[in-house]
Structure 1
Amino acid sequence: MAEEPRRRGAARTDELLRVTLELATESGYAGLSIEAVARAAGVGKHTIYRRWPSMAALLLDALSRVWTTDLDYRDTGDVRADLREQFLRSVPALAAPPIGPVYRALIAEAQGDETLRATLYDRFLRTVEERTLARIVRAQLAGELVAGVDLTFPAEVLCGALYYRHLLSTRLPDEKAVDALLDMFMAAYGR
């Protein structure tokens, strides 16, 4: 039987990211190490360290590969319906492997690592907040929401409530929770 050719470059990187996600899903962050990834991928640790300086950096790149949830809001002219659709579309992605376990692990690790915390915000959370803010500002300009109010903090609250439920609560952000959140938002800012 012929030996499988050695993978290099992009193919090797893809393999390492795939193995990282598999191990993170199986054993969680606590059971994950550069050594474990190297062993599972059949490479030396130096192969991984040449690409990523830490386990957290490797996980961030692995998460980027599977974070495929469409973050663009539709604009149907009904801001509540558009927010609801987007939030309900995002919930399963955040709850299921591989994103759910990896994302929770990175959030936990980021609490003691300011650089990771900033990177996680810049690569993932900032986009969610900016797109949510853009959608509600468009609604404000169209007259669906009260004029003259800065909606930056309300956008953070909308996103933050769902992340809180997903990351810290034992209650999932289900339809009932999404509807209650949007009812509060519309009561405060709707016309």
Structure 2
Amino acid sequence: MTLELAAEVGYAGLNIEAVARRAGVGKHTIYRRWPSKPALLLDALSRVWITDLDYDDTGDVRADLREQFLRSAPALANPPIGPVYRGLIAEAQTDPALRATLHERFLLTVERRTLDRITRAQHAGELVAGVDLEFAAEVLCGTLYYRHLLSTRPIDEGTVDALLDMFMAAYGTTR
């Protein structure tokens, strides 16, 4: 309900009072659980987004990364997640606590799940052995977030394929 309201009125237009009205409760009920609009929205986002970040493991790391990136891109670009997430990112630039929370609850989660998937691929022999893949996971995720948050360029199949081609050229065992 919170994300739907945010999609209707925009991040800046959303306030606790409107959420309370929509929920049919007093604003103090909302404030008891969530001390601020960002806290409320972070919780709402985590309920619909984090559950969709798990990678398939088909034995083909490139295909699994591709499927996940193409599945995630529309969620980041469209309501209800996209506009709310962009609003939180913007607010986090002047709120160090929110920035740390966003990093811990969302960005690190995405990076860790990506790292887990590519590490399994490394152990299976799909990727070069003995290479630290932590930075690679950050670059894979960061490229898509950069495009989504700071660029007007799309995250489409061509973008994802080019990113994965570079990744596989650098880390794949069939170079």
CA contact (8 A) 1:66 1:98 kept: no
Alignment: residue pair count: 173
Equivalent of residue 181 in structure 1, options 155, 158, 163: 163
The structural deviation recorded for 1:55 is 0.8
| Residues 1:161 and 2:143 are matched in the alignment | yes
The residue number in structure 1 matching 2:14 is 32
The residue number in structure 2 matching 1:148 is 130
The structural deviation recorded for 1:69 is 5.2
Give runs of aligned pairs for residues 56-67 of structure 1, distance below 5 A: 56-67=38-49
The residue number in structure 2 matching 1:43 is 25
Amino acid across the alignment from 1:50: R
Amino acid across the alignment from 2:147: R
The structural deviation recorded for 1:94 is 1.6
Amino acid across the alignment from 2:59: G
Q: For the residues of structure 2 that align with 1:36 and 1:114, how far apart are their CA atoms?
A: 26
Amino acid across the alignment from 1:181: L
The residue number in structure 2 matching 1:73 is 55
The residue number in structure 2 matching 1:125 is 107
CA contact (8 A) 2:50 2:106 kept: no
Q: For the residues of structure 2 that align with 1:99 and 1:178, how far apart are their CA atoms?
A: 20
The residue number in structure 1 matching 2:64 is 82
CA-to-partner distance for each residue in 1:2-44, whole Å, 9 max, x for gaps? xxxxxxxxxxxxxxxx1x2222111211112223323444433
The structural deviation recorded for 1:87 is 0.8
CA contact (8 A) 2:11 2:87 kept: yes
Secondary structure in 1 matching 2:159: helix
Q: For the residues of structure 2 that align with 1:64 and 1:147, how far apart are their CA atoms?
A: 34
| Residues 1:115 and 2:97 are matched in the alignment | yes
Superposition TM-score, scaled by structure 2 size: 0.90
Amino acid across the alignment from 1:72: D
Secondary structure in 2 matching 1:74: coil
The structural deviation recorded for 1:68 is 5.8
The structural deviation recorded for 1:77 is 2.1
Q: For the residues of structure 2 that align with 1:146 and 1:56, how far apart are their CA atoms?
A: 41
Which has more radius of gyration? 1
Identity of aligned residues (%): 83
Runs of 4+ in 1 over 4 A off after TM superposition: none
Q: For the residues of structure 2 that align with 1:42 and 1:75, how far apart are their CA atoms?
A: 43
Provide the aligned C-alpha RMSD in A. Answer: 1.6
CA contact (8 A) 2:34 2:40 kept: yes
Q: For the residues of structure 1 that align with 2:130 and 2:93, how far apart are their CA atoms?
A: 35
CA-to-partner distance for each residue in 1:99-150, whole Å, 9 max, x for gaps? 1111111111111111111212222222211111111111112222112211
CA contact (8 A) 2:57 2:64 kept: yes
The residue number in structure 2 matching 1:10 is none
